[in-house]
Structure formats: structure tokens, C-alpha cells
Structure 1
Amino acid sequence: MPQPSGDTRHEHDFMKLAINPSPSGSELAVLFSGEGRPHPLHTIGPAIHDYVLVHTVLAGRGVYEVRGHAYPCRAGDSFIIFPGELFSYQADEHEPWHYVWVSFVGPASRQLLANVGVTPDCPIVSGSSLPDIRMLYRSLQDSLSPAGDAPLADLESAGWLRLLLGSFGRANGAGRLAKPDDTTAIDRQIEQAIRFMSLHYTQQVSIDQLSRTLGYHRTHLSRMFKRTTGLSPKQYLMTIRLERAQTLLASTAMPIDQVASAVGFNDPLYFSKKFKSATGFAPSDYRKTALSVKHEE
């Protein structure tokens, strides 16, 4: 497991470190987290890490340098070191910073950081709420306590890390994030509507409720939805239900009325009518045909 490089305790007035006893190979895993008050002009680097390392300044000042840019940081600011980037950072001569840090790895790392507006070209988050940040870092470090259970430490610390990244996203604000144009915004809302229907098709989905949830009038959502998919929301939901019904009929021995209920139909007769209209087969005939094809294979 990667470890923080060098013994820097003698260069700090205060320092503590918590290490994940068993980091997983999951999409996001904390390696270690700590807190320290380095001496004036204490410097790290130039160096390169093979993990993400985030520092959040609680008090004092310092400078983070990467890609030829120097970023002055003070209380409420966080600077993010990306894997493979040559960096250095130094505490202020008169007001050396007091900071907390967390290191993590995983294939989801870069995308999660990008989602909250952090990239190698934009590695600073400003304006974080220090009481909230302190609580999140403290909880993350507590989850790595040696007295805890190793697998749970890995799971819990990753959860606290996600909350920490979420707080960075709120601090960055909409103005720091890429602003999608109207078309992209609409596309995202349509994707969200499709995802909602795909997850809730077994329930009595109300298009009115869906429209309110997405912040659109039903008429506007229906018009945008049909322009994107070629179907109205109601038609798309029906398509999802009937496709799921085909899967159940072909792969299970569930009675027809249970299949109907499982895909969101309260009335088995109405389900049969809609199914035959869409596929050309009654549900029972569709099952027989599907089974015969399987036997032939």
C-alpha cells in the first residue's frame, strides 16, 4: 500500500496520521488521513505521488505549486494533488498553515473530482465551511481507528470521503462548474426521467409527479421527451414494462397475473391486451414460443 513519504513529524508542532489497515481494490479507497501544523517555511517537494492527496487548510497560510502555477491558500481552501503531477507546497513564514489531509485511490477518483469541479488545471476548492470540513475529516479518521474492524474501516472511510467530496462540490458552486447549454440540460433531465421510469416501472408512476420532480410542466416535459426519444413518457413507460414482461415470460414460470403485477399492471386483462398489441402474441403464447426456441437452441 502506498505510504506518506518521509518522516516529517520533527518538522511539525503537531501531527497525527490514520492509515487504512486494509484498502480494497474498489472504485474508491482511502489510503490514509491526517492533521498537522508544520513549522514556518516547511516544504514538501518537488515530488510526484501515485495517489490523490487532498489538503484542507484550517488556519494559517501557504502556497501550493503545480503545472507552473502558484496557488496561495488560506483557511477554508483545499488543494488537490493528482497522481503523476510534479508538485510542491510550502508553509508561510509568518503564519504557517494548519491543515488536514486525505489520500485515496481508485478508478472513480478522477471522475468524482471532476464532478465537483476539481481537475489538474483547477486544483483548488475555496470557501469550504470549516466546521463541516472538520467534522467530515474527524469522522473519516475515526473510521480508520486501529480498534475498528478493517473491512468496515475501508467501507466507512470511503463513505466519509464521498461526503467530503460532496462538500467540495457545494463550495465550488454552480459558477465554478461547467455550465451546460440548454440542450445539454434538457438531455440530462430526459436521462433522469428515463432512469426514474426504469427503476420504478413496477410502481404506479405518475407522469405529473415525475414532471414536478424534474421541475417541468407536464406538457413541456412530454414535448421534450418525445423530441428526444420519439415517444411520450407514458408510451416509454409502457415499452419498459412490456419489455420486462417479455423477459419474465421467457425466463420464469410465474403465472401471467403475477408477471402483470411484477411489471406494474394492476389488471391482468389490460396487461394481456397491451402485450398482444405490442408483440402480436398473447402472453401465454409468447411464453410457449420463447420456450420452444430455447429448446431448439
Structure 2
Amino acid sequence: MPATLHEHALFAGSPVLAGVHHLNPDIEPHAHDFLEIAVIGAGHGRHVTSQGERPLRHGEVVVLRPGAWHGFRGCADLTVANCCLSAQALGAELALLYDIPMLRRLLWTDPVASGTHGVAVTAVDPDAAEEAIAEISLLERDLGADQRRPGRVLGRLVTVLGILADGRDSVQETFESAVHPAVAATIARLEEAPAHPWRLDDLAQAVNLDPTYLGRLFVRYVGLTPLGFLARLRAERAATLLAHSALPAARVGAAVGWDDPTYFARRFRALVGLTPTEYRRRSRSAGHAGLSAPGEPKSS
């Protein structure tokens, strides 16, 4: 059963969390309210998500949006290097990462695409994976240092993401232009008030664009329509509320903009892979899921 790993308990005020783990026991499926990037190194194991189980390969990269869940089974000396980004920081000091086209695809477009349930799995060359794992190990060291080094941490993070993006993006994608200002303005409006009953016409009017054109811009830069983006945003906010609060599921749905409990349950399951009740039950049924913050004992 998935546990929920909570941002406030793990990050200790830092925007980044990192660690290299050598897994032998199973890691129970777990959800969390931050973004996770897991780079797979040597060893054997199977990955568990809402899509089922599949063998892991050296060089695979798993990206999970907040609210998504996964786990590991049948692990035998499996190396997994985690680089986790605070959801709060992604809306503040790390927001600039979304302005870099090749990182935007890695961190946002792929894991929010239709049917992914917030989980994207891609692959890089094994040598690139080992390079990224080595950098994540150095990032872990810097995070655990007695003296805070925010500049060095940010530099390590960008290096890790750059290695992974270089291993999977084409030249054309790398040089794609930055997010269109109308898309950025609309995203900010939706993130500020996701529970508002937004209509495409209203969003388009606010940025002085034709609704159809705004829709095309969203698909180009985000991979979703504006209302598809809103649905994913609501699902991520709902997942956090389900894990953190005692609000009844119906009130959680209303809090994010889905007033009809039946519709909320249907949309949440389509986007996350579990009903709201299942997500809450599983998120509270297990312990720490075997992963650790810097300075804590690691699974082995």
C-alpha cells in the first residue's frame, strides 16, 4: 500500500532533496507531494505504477509529478538515485526551470500527458545515467554539509537535469523558444485560483487571444489544452489535500473546483490512477517507504 512522503517533513527548508540508494528489499508503493526524478543504475528490479509492473533497465529515468505514486519490487542490488524538487519551490525560486525548453518537457510535459497519471518513464545512455548518479551523489553531499551552499546546490541540480535532458532531447527540441507570454500568464492565473469555474473564452479574453489559438499554444508549449492543464493542477492539489487533511473526499473535490463528488472521483481516478478514497487509504497505510532524506540511513 502506498505511503505518502510529505514535503514539509523531508526538505527541511531546502528546495531540493537528493540521495543515492541501493535497494534489496521491496519499496512499498508511495505517493508524495513533491516532484521526483529517479535515475536507475545497475541492478535488477521492477517498477510499480498505476499502469502495472514492468522490469527496470539501467539508464531509465522516472519522473513523477506531485500526487503520483510508484514503488519497487523484486530489487536485487538496484541503484536508484533520487533528485526531488519542492512543489513550493517550483512555483517560486525554481520556476525558471520551466523556462528552459528541454527541462520543461522533462519536468512537466511528459509526466502530465494524457494517461500517464503523473508518471513518465524515459531512458538515457547508461553512461549518462552513471554521470547523473555521480552528480546526484555530490548534490547529496552538498545538501548534507554543515554550511549551506545554495549556489552550489542549484548548480548541481541544473547539471543533473542537463545531463538527463541531453540524453533524451533532439537539437530541435533543445532550441525551441521559451514559453509564450500568453501561456505563462494563463498558467499563473490558473495556479492562483484553480477552484474558479474557468472557461476557455474567459482565459483567452484575459490575454487578448482567440480561444482556439490559445489552445494551440498550450498544446505546443505544455502538452495539454488550458482546461486539461487545469484538470491536472486540480488533481495535484486534491492529492495533497487527501494526504494532508481530514476533509471528506467530497469537500476536497469542492475545494479544488470539482463540486460534484461523482465527477471529482471520476476525474481524479483518470488523472492519478486511484479513486480519492483509495488514494487517501493507501497514502496513510504504510510507513516511510524505505527512502531517506540526507543524513538518514539508506535502504540496503
TM-score, with normalisation over the residues of structure 2? 0.44
Of structures 1 and 2, the one scoring higher in RCO (CA 8 A, sep 6+) is 2
